[in-house]
Chain A
C-alpha cells in the first residue's frame, strides 16, 4: 500500500526537483518531470518506473542529506517503484508476494524441487539415477508433460505480466489506443535495448559508486541478452521438436544448444557481476527492503544457467536425471515468480519508456501552446 508518508516523500522530492532542475541533463525522469506541475500518485508511479536507478542525481544534488530538504531520488523512487509493482499485480492477492520475496522464492524452489524429484522418481519406477546413454531427457520427463507444465505456467506468467502492464498503462493516464504509435514504440525499444538512460552519452552512471562507470550497463546487457538468447534457444528447440520432428536431444552444434550456451554465459557472468556491483552500492541510496527480491532473481538466473551447462555436459552420466530435475525446478520457480518478483521492473520500465517516447512526440504541440 502507498502510505501517506511515502506519497508525501515522493511529492516533496518532485516539488524540490522541479524547482531546481539542475539534473535535467541526466535522464528521462527529469525531463518528464519538467512537463508537470502537480505530482499525483499516478505521476509518481510513472516517474519512479522511468528511473533506472543510475544515481547520478544523488551525487549531484545540493539538497541530498544532511541538507534540510533531504532529497534522495534513487531511494525514494525505488520505494515508490516497489509499491507500484504491488499495485499492478494480477491476481491482486498475489501482490503480497513482493513482500519478503527472497524468502518466498527460496521456499517455493524447495517445494518444487522436492515435488519434481518425487514425481519423477515414481514415474521412472526408481530408475532416476541410472545413466541414460543417449542423453535423452525426455525419457525422464516426457516431452508432453514438460510442454504442458511449462506451457501452462508460462502462459499464466505472460498473462499476469500483460495484465500488470495494462494496469500500469491506464493508471499513468494512457489508453489502449495510445499503445499503437509506431514511432514511439521504435524510440522506446531503442531506449530499452541500449539502456540509454544508464549511459549519459558514453559516460556511464553512478552505479555502484559515485565515479561514473559503464559496468552496470554492460552487465545488465549480458543478463538481458543472455536471457533473450536462452529464450530463442527454447523457441528453436520447440521448432525442432514440433515442426522438424527431431525428438532426440539437440546436438552440441545445433542452434538451440549454441543460443542456449551463449545465453547461459551471459546469465552467469551478467547476474554475478550485477550482484557484485549491487553489494558495493552506497547504502544511503538503497531501499534495503528490496535486497531479497533482487537477490532471489539474480540467483535463480545464475542457477538456471549453471545447471543448464551441467546438464549439457553430463547428460550421458548417471547425474543427468537429478540435474534435469534441479534445472527444471529452477526454471519452474522462475516462471511462477516472474510476475511477482524483480522481473517486472523490465515490464513497467519499458511501459514508462514508451510513455516517455509518446510524451516527447506530443511535446511540439505543448510547446506551441505555451
Chain B
C-alpha cells in the first residue's frame, strides 16, 4: 500500500461531492489520484449524502430545470441571503460555472429528476438528483473506481506537513494504522467543523451543547484547523453557518432532511418560559427556515415549542416525529412540561390580538395581530380548534462557514495574500468565500461541484507540469484587499 501511496500526483482529503468532483476532474487531467475518506464506506460522502439538489444558472429551460435563472438573479439571491457578505468576483464566477454542472455530472452517471417532476417547488432554480445526494455520490464513487481513482475509507488525516505554503505530506490513520502520504499536490475538500463539538463550544460557548448536528459526524475540521495554523488565510467566522430549527427529538448527528419542521408560520413559537419571542409570520419558507435556528439558539436552554391547532395539520411537510398533543392548551402545556398558566396566557393574548383576514399561505396575506409584541404579521389564525399540537424545536447546525480563502483557481491563499504552491480547496471548507452567512437551497453543492472540478484540474496540471504557478503582484494585491 505504501508504495502506491508514495507515487500519487493529487491527494484529495475528503469524500463528499467536492472531493469526488476534484478526483474525477484530476483524472480527466491525467493525474494519479488518491482519495482519503475518513468515514467508513457505508457512511461515506460527508454531508453530500444528505443533499438533494444543486442551484444552477441557466438562460433557457434545460431537461432538468424549467424557465431561466440568470447570472444576475442568482447573484441577487446570494446577495440577499448573505446580506452582502460575499466575494462578488468569486460568486459570479461560481454562478457562471454552475451552468455546466449538471451535464458534467451526467457524464459520470449522476441522474436527475425531470424538470417540474414531483412536488418540488425549486424546479426552476435547482436541479434535483434522482434518489438524492447519496445516489449522486454512489454514481461518483462508481465512476471514480472505474477510472482508477484510489479510494481509502476509514482514512483520517491527522496532520499535514506544510512549509511556507508548500504541501509535502500528510499523516494519516488508515484503518487504525499510521501512514505517511506524500503527494505533489493537495486538494482539501474535507468539509467544515460542525461535528467537532469542542470547537463549536469554543465558538459559541456552553449553548453549543444543545445544538443538533444535521449531517455527518465525521466533519471534525482537522484539516481546516491545521491549515489555518500553518498560515492559510481564513474566511468568514466560526459562528457563521447554516443553522435551522429542527425537531428537538432528532438524533445528535445525521438526522438529515426528515427532522426539519416547517409549521412555524401556521402557529406560534414559545420558549420554555411559555413566552413568544419572534414574529412567526415574518416571511416565506426559505428565509424563515434559515433564521429560526439562530432564534431558538438565543432562547433559554436553546429550545422552542411550535404550537398549532388542528386547522394547521396537513398544511405542512410531515415531520418524522409525531406531534405532542392535548385536548386543551393547558393539557398540551403539561405534555410539553411548560408553565401552564404562562402558555395558556400567551395563547389567549395571541388569539385576542388576531385580526380577521383572508388566509392564504401562498402569499404574505392580511391575517395578522394588532397590539401584540412581538407581532405575527401574516398567516395569523386563532389557535382554537382542539386537539392542540406542538413540536419541540432545537437549533440544527447544517454546516459551518469558517474556511480557507481561495481564488478562482481554487488555490489556497496564505496570510499576506500569496498563493500556496500546491494546495487547493473545494466545497464546504471554502464555501465561506461565497456564503459569508445565510443559505439558499442547493448552493453548497454548486460551490462544491464548481470548485471541486477546478481544484482537481489545477492540481493535476500543477502536479504533471512540476512547475509551481508564479504569483503576480496584482493578484496578491487583489486578494489582500478582498
User: Would you call A22 an interface residue if the criterion is a C-beta within 8 Å of the partner chain's C-beta atoms?
Assistant: yes
User: With contacts A56-B131, A60-B131 known, is A22 near B52, CB below 8 A?
Assistant: yes
- Tell me if A60 and B257 are in contact (CB < 8 A): no
Q: Beta-carbon contacts of A55-68 to B below 8 Å, as 1s and 0s? A: 01101111101111
Query: Which residues of chain B are within 8 angstroms of A65 by Cβ–Cβ distance?
Result: 42
Within the complex, the shortest CB–CB distance from B188 to chain A, in Å, comes to: 24
User: With contacts A19-B258, A60-B138 known, is A26 near B317, CB below 8 A?
Assistant: no
User: Would you call B156 an interface residue if the criterion is a C-beta within 8 Å of the partner chain's C-beta atoms?
Assistant: no
Choose among A25, A56, A66 the residue that contacts B118 (Cβ–Cβ < 8 A). A25
Most chain A CB within a 10 A radius of its CB, from B128, B254, B318: B318
- Tell me if B320 and A16 are in contact (CB < 8 A): yes
User: Would you call A15 an interface residue if the criterion is a C-beta within 8 Å of the partner chain's C-beta atoms?
Assistant: yes
User: Would you call A171 an interface residue if the criterion is a C-beta within 8 Å of the partner chain's C-beta atoms?
Assistant: no
- Tell me if B130 and A62 are in contact (CB < 8 A): no
Query: Which residues of chain A are within 8 angstroms of B318 by Cβ–Cβ distance?
Result: 15, 18-19, 37
User: Would you call A24 an interface residue if the criterion is a C-beta within 8 Å of the partner chain's C-beta atoms?
Assistant: yes
User: With contacts A37-B314, A63-B256 known, is A23 near B132, CB below 8 A?
Assistant: yes
User: Would you call A203 an interface residue if the criterion is a C-beta within 8 Å of the partner chain's C-beta atoms?
Assistant: yes
Q: Tally A-B pairs: CB < 8 A.
A: 80
- Tell me if B133 and A26 are in contact (CB < 8 A): no
- Tell me if A203 and B135 are in contact (CB < 8 A): no
- Tell me if A63 and B258 are in contact (CB < 8 A): yes
- Tell me if A68 and B254 are in contact (CB < 8 A): yes
Interface size on A, residues (CB 8 A): 30
- Tell me if B134 and A61 are in contact (CB < 8 A): yes
* Overall SS of chain B's interface: loop
- Tell me if A20 and B258 are in contact (CB < 8 A): yes
A16 and B131 alpha carbons, distance in the complex (Å): 15
- Tell me if B131 and A210 are in contact (CB < 8 A): no
Residue of B nearest to A21 (CB): B119
User: With contacts A19-B257, A37-B318, A203-B111 known, is A68 near B251, CB below 8 A?
Assistant: yes
User: Would you call A221 an interface residue if the criterion is a C-beta within 8 Å of the partner chain's C-beta atoms?
Assistant: no
Query: Which residues of chain B are within 8 angstroms of A66 by Cβ–Cβ distance?
Result: 42-43
Within 8 A of B (CB), among A20-57: 20-26, 31, 34, 37, 56-57
A67 and B216 alpha carbons, distance in the complex (Å): 11
User: Would you call A211 an interface residue if the criterion is a C-beta within 8 Å of the partner chain's C-beta atoms?
Assistant: yes
Query: Which residues of chain B are within 8 angstroms of A23 by Cβ–Cβ distance?
Result: 131-132
A16 and B256 alpha carbons, distance in the complex (Å): 11
User: Would you call B50 an interface residue if the criterion is a C-beta within 8 Å of the partner chain's C-beta atoms?
Assistant: yes
Within the complex, the shortest CB–CB distance from B115 to chain A, in Å, comes to: 12
Query: Which residues of chain B are within 8 angstroms of A22 by Cβ–Cβ distance?
Result: 52, 129, 131-133, 135, 257
Choose among B50, B52, B130, B258 the residue that contacts A26 (Cβ–Cβ < 8 A). B130
Within the complex, the shortest CB–CB distance from B244 to chain A, in Å, comes to: 15
User: Would you call B113 an interface residue if the criterion is a C-beta within 8 Å of the partner chain's C-beta atoms?
Assistant: yes
User: Would you call B437 an interface residue if the criterion is a C-beta within 8 Å of the partner chain's C-beta atoms?
Assistant: no
- Tell me if A59 and B317 are in contact (CB < 8 A): no
- Tell me if A60 and B135 are in contact (CB < 8 A): yes
Within the complex, the shortest CB–CB distance from B43 to chain A, in Å, comes to: 8
Query: Which residues of chain A are within 8 angstroms of B132 by Cβ–Cβ distance?
Result: 20, 22-23, 60, 62
Most chain B CB within a 10 A radius of its CB, from A22, A31, A37, A66: A22
User: Would you call B117 an interface residue if the criterion is a C-beta within 8 Å of the partner chain's C-beta atoms?
Assistant: yes
- Tell me if B317 and A19 are in contact (CB < 8 A): yes
- Tell me if A62 and B134 are in contact (CB < 8 A): yes
Residue of A nearest to B130 (CB): A25
Within the complex, the shortest CB–CB distance from A35 to chain B, in Å, comes to: 10
A66 and B40 alpha carbons, distance in the complex (Å): 11
Residue of A nearest to B251 (CB): A68
Residue of B nearest to A68 (CB): B251
Within 8 A of B (CB), among A48-107: 56-57, 59-63, 65-69
A67 and B257 alpha carbons, distance in the complex (Å): 14
- Tell me if B131 and A57 are in contact (CB < 8 A): yes
- Tell me if A26 and B320 are in contact (CB < 8 A): no
Query: Which residues of chain B are within 8 angstroms of A37 by Cβ–Cβ distance?
Result: 314, 318
Residue of A nearest to B53 (CB): A22
Within 8 A of B (CB), among A344-366: none
A26 and B131 alpha carbons, distance in the complex (Å): 7
Choose among A16, A34, A60, A200 the residue that contacts B258 (Cβ–Cβ < 8 A). A16
Within the complex, the shortest CB–CB distance from B41 to chain A, in Å, comes to: 11
User: Would you call B142 an interface residue if the criterion is a C-beta within 8 Å of the partner chain's C-beta atoms?
Assistant: yes
Query: Which residues of chain B are within 8 angstroms of A59 by Cβ–Cβ distance?
Result: 131, 134-135, 138
A59 and B142 alpha carbons, distance in the complex (Å): 13
User: Would you call B49 an interface residue if the criterion is a C-beta within 8 Å of the partner chain's C-beta atoms?
Assistant: yes
User: Would you call B319 an interface residue if the criterion is a C-beta within 8 Å of the partner chain's C-beta atoms?
Assistant: yes
Within the complex, the shortest CB–CB distance from B361 to chain A, in Å, comes to: 10
Query: Which residues of chain B are within 8 angstroms of A20 by Cβ–Cβ distance?
Result: 132, 256-258
User: With contacts A18-B318, A19-B257, A19-B319 known, is A34 near B119, CB below 8 A?
Assistant: yes
Residue of A nearest to B315 (CB): A370
A25 and B115 alpha carbons, distance in the complex (Å): 11
Within the complex, the shortest CB–CB distance from B386 to chain A, in Å, comes to: 19
Query: Which residues of chain A are within 8 angstroms of B257 by Cβ–Cβ distance?
Result: 19-20, 22, 62
Query: Which residues of chain B are within 8 angstroms of A211 by Cβ–Cβ distance?
Result: 142
A61 and B129 alpha carbons, distance in the complex (Å): 13
Residue of A nearest to B111 (CB): A203
A305 and B91 alpha carbons, distance in the complex (Å): 66
- Tell me if A25 and B113 are in contact (CB < 8 A): yes
A101 and B117 alpha carbons, distance in the complex (Å): 41
Within the complex, the shortest CB–CB distance from A287 to chain B, in Å, comes to: 21
A200 and B135 alpha carbons, distance in the complex (Å): 13
Residue of A nearest to B254 (CB): A67
Within the complex, the shortest CB–CB distance from B387 to chain A, in Å, comes to: 15
Within 8 A of A (CB), among B1-51: 42-43, 49-50
Query: Which residues of chain A are within 8 angstroms of B49 by Cβ–Cβ distance?
Result: 62
User: With contacts A25-B128, A67-B254 known, is A62 near B50, CB below 8 A?
Assistant: yes
Within the complex, the shortest CB–CB distance from A80 to chain B, in Å, comes to: 20
Query: Which residues of chain B are within 8 angstroms of A210 by Cβ–Cβ distance?
Result: 138, 142
Within the complex, the shortest CB–CB distance from A207 to chain B, in Å, comes to: 15
Within the complex, the shortest CB–CB distance from A238 to chain B, in Å, comes to: 47
Residue of A nearest to B138 (CB): A59
- Tell me if B117 and A25 are in contact (CB < 8 A): yes
A210 and B138 alpha carbons, distance in the complex (Å): 9
A31 and B120 alpha carbons, distance in the complex (Å): 12
A62 and B51 alpha carbons, distance in the complex (Å): 10
Within the complex, the shortest CB–CB distance from B441 to chain A, in Å, comes to: 14
Query: Which residues of chain B are within 8 angstroms of A26 by Cβ–Cβ distance?
Result: 130-131
Residue of A nearest to B45 (CB): A62
A18 and B319 alpha carbons, distance in the complex (Å): 8
Residue of B nearest to A56 (CB): B131
Most chain A CB within a 10 A radius of its CB, from B117, B254, B258, B314: B258
Query: Which residues of chain B are within 8 angstroms of A19 by Cβ–Cβ distance?
Result: 257-258, 317-320
Query: Which residues of chain A are within 8 angstroms of B131 by Cβ–Cβ distance?
Result: 22-23, 25-26, 56-57, 59-60
User: With contacts A22-B52, A25-B117, A63-B256 known, is A15 near B320, CB below 8 A?
Assistant: yes
A323 and B434 alpha carbons, distance in the complex (Å): 77
Within the complex, the shortest CB–CB distance from A235 to chain B, in Å, comes to: 41
* 7 contacts across the A-B interface (CB closer than 8 A): A21-B119, A22-B52, A25-B114, A34-B119, A60-B131, A61-B134, A62-B257
Given contacts A18-B318, A62-B257, 20 further A-B contacts (CB under 8 A): A19-B257, A19-B258, A19-B319, A20-B257, A20-B258, A21-B118, A22-B131, A22-B132, A22-B133, A24-B119, A25-B117, A25-B131, A26-B130, A34-B118, A56-B131, A61-B134, A62-B50, A68-B251, A69-B258, A210-B142
Closest 7 CB pairs of A and B: A22-B132, A60-B131, A60-B135, A19-B258, A25-B113, A19-B320, A24-B118
